[in-house]
Amino acid sequence: MGFSAGDITIMIEAVLSCNVFRFENKLFEQIRGLSMGNRIAPLLAIIFLDQIEKMSLTSGILLYKRYIDDVFVVGTTGMEVEATLDRLNAFDQHVSYTIERPDDEGYLPFLNTKVRIVRGQKEHVWYKKAASANILVHARSAHPHFIKANVVRNLIRTKDKLCTTKDLEVEKTISRILEENGYNGNPTTTWLPHATLDGLPLILPYVGEHPARAVNEVVKRSGLPIRLVFRPPPTLKHLLTSTRIYEDKCPEVDCQYCTKEEKICQLRGTVYLIRCEGASRSFLVVSIAFPVFLAGLAILGYELYSKAQNERNELVQRLVRDVKEIGLLAIFPGTAVLVVAVVLLRLHQLRILRIYQNRKSVDDYLAIGSKRIIEKHQIPFHRDVASACYFSDEKTDFARMLTQVLIGNMQIENKRFLIDDDGFRANNYRSYMLNETSTPPRL
């Protein structure tokens, strides 16, 4: 039996009326507003502000984007923006919007970016508030070196993804944050747990760098088909909090995204981690183009071997004449077409279209990949059998890209796949799924 609107109202009122906290051994009650740390607060803020915006945003606004209570606005004129601000502030006396204008360089900060418009073109760079704590996993903390290297890599990757132009201040800020957390300019001498291509996962608690390296060397020398996974012990926060909920199963019959044991695609609360736009487009193109290509080859073969020269299709006759004219040079375009087809098929086979994470069991995932060119299939897996495939920094960008195309950048059990790192909602979703951190993301 579901909840009625009245039931939800009663529960929300109960939650909001119990905002009691202690300060200097005295108990206080918050009588207005939403308390920080309350899990329902962001949702209620979004609902309330949405009502204000529907009644206030009438004209003069070209772009309006909001994340919780941070808003980015582009208006036709400064007067229109001011008028919109007045309408927003007139809705409720207890809700006050303030405006922040671009700085001397024309940048306007919004979340972790700064945006400006130069000669009609938008520019944005990575941004961190001066008051931010800038806390990362410290270089001297009891975490494996590859986890620390991944923290640094993700920070730099986020910066590079958000910056459309080189900015000296951003580079200085990144260097300062890394230095404050114990990372100097020297290259990190990192290592990865031993893993064989078809190895079975061996999960061990991480108790320190030296024991982990020693175990890694022993397993490597043994030659056993093992893939080591070092997992730090759970933190107090992980033991005391849970985001698990009870869910209904997917009602669809023969759903292509559900397994027989666990129907996951339409579970209430199932998290949709990644959707690779490039993989989805290439799946559509290849699933249509490859059968057409094969049909074209079949028609060409039929024309060449079953009909006389004067009875062949005009296009086939012209193609035969061109091949005879260029002679052996016809090998090069034919080989190029074959190489492109093979590369596209390999990408089609490796790429993951979507990944789902189950909130009821946060270590369980479901990946959607391609099968037999035109079909899709589900790949259920546990995070213990998933790992990332890294390549040497000494390789050029082209060499790393070619290696990823040929063998993938992610391994599930003994199979390789290709995922788009930019498709994840945040870097910590990817890090947790690939066992690079033991702290699950907040779902």
Q: What is the pLDDT of residues 134-155, one digit of tens each?
A: 888 888 877 777 778 888 888 8
Let me know if residue 372 belongs to a domain: yes
Let me know if residue 16 belongs to a domain: yes
Helix (H, G, I), strand (E, B) or coil at 353: strand
Q: Quick one: pLDDT at residue 274?
A: 63
- Residue 248, pLDDT > 50, answer no
Q: What is the pLDDT of residues 326-373, one digit of tens each?
A: 777 777 877 888 888 888 788 778 888 888 887 777 788 888 888 877
**What is the average pLDDT across 47-52?**
85
- Measured distance CA(162)–CA(144) in Å, rounded: 28
Q: Quick one: pLDDT at residue 251?
A: 55
Boundary (domain end) residue, out of 51, 71, 99 = 99
Let me know if residue 442 belongs to a domain: no
- Measured distance CA(227)–CA(180) in Å, rounded: 34
The residue range of the domain holding 13 is: 1-99
DSSP letter assigned to residue 243: -
Give the residue with greater pLDDT, 58 vs 33: 33
Give the residue with greater pLDDT, 341 vs 425: 341
Q: Quick one: pLDDT at residue 245?
A: 42
Q: What is the pLDDT of residues 263-297, one digit of tens each?
A: 555 544 455 566 666 666 667 777 777 777 778 88
pLDDT band at 246 (very low <50, low <70, confident <90, very high): very low
Highest mean pLDDT among 234-238, 257-261, 385-389: 385-389
- Measured distance CA(88)–CA(97) in Å, rounded: 7
Phi and psi based region of residue 413 (left: phi greater than 0; alpha: psi -120 to 50; beta: remaining)? left
Do residues 263 and 369 both lie within one domain? yes
How many residues would you count in the chain?
A: 443
Let me know if residue 164 belongs to a domain: no
Do residues 262 and 355 both lie within one domain? yes
Angle at 239 between CA 233 and CA 242, to 5 degrees: 130
Stated pTM of the model:
0.51
Q: Quick one: pLDDT at residue 160?
A: 87
Q: Which of 49-53, 277-281, 418-422, 436-440 has the lowest mean pLDDT?
A: 277-281
Highest mean pLDDT among 22-26, 131-135, 404-408: 22-26
pLDDT band at 244 (very low <50, low <70, confident <90, very high): very low
Do residues 398 and 264 both lie within one domain? yes
Do residues 307 and 387 both lie within one domain? no
Do residues 370 and 287 both lie within one domain? no
Total structural domains within the chain: 3
Q: Quick one: pLDDT at residue 9?
A: 87
Let me know if residue 195 belongs to a domain: no
**What is the average pLDDT across 101-129?**
86
Residue 314 phi/psi, 5-degree rounding, is -60, -40
